[in-house]
Amino acid sequence: MSFGAGVPTVEVADLKDDDFLLDVREDDEWQAGHAEGALHIPLSDFVARYGELTEAAPEAGRVHVICRSGGRSAQVTMYLTQQGIDAVNVDGGMQVWAAAGRPVVTDSGEPGYVA
């Protein structure tokens, strides 16, 4: 799925285990399952909670933004790059993440699913 030439994108296969991941899906989607270690800030709360990202993100590192399929994360990626943050959209989102066999967990660490 393409969201325009202006959105920097990375493939799930290119992500390393220690890459910083920002999940912008809504609470119900997050609770169903997410990537372990990801920071969760729903798109609907993103502007109000922006400071949480700037505190948690690696100072000189890249922010990998993910949602269910890539649309919402593309919006956030564009916003972050406009703020001068090195951010990339994870192409295909959590759907591709799960299809690639990457772990999806709940808050309790149990296996989860992509809602």
Catalytic (active site) residue 72:
no
* Burial call 38-76: b when 16+ CB within 10 Å, e when fewer: bbbbbbeebeeeeeebeeebeeeeebbbbbbbbebbbbb
Per the residue annotation, which of 67, 76, 78, 96 is the catalytic one? 67
Identify whether the C-beta of residue 6 lies closer than 8 Å to the C-beta of residue 78.
yes
Identify whether the C-beta of residue 40 lies closer than 8 Å to the C-beta of residue 34.
yes
Active-site residues, by number, are: 67
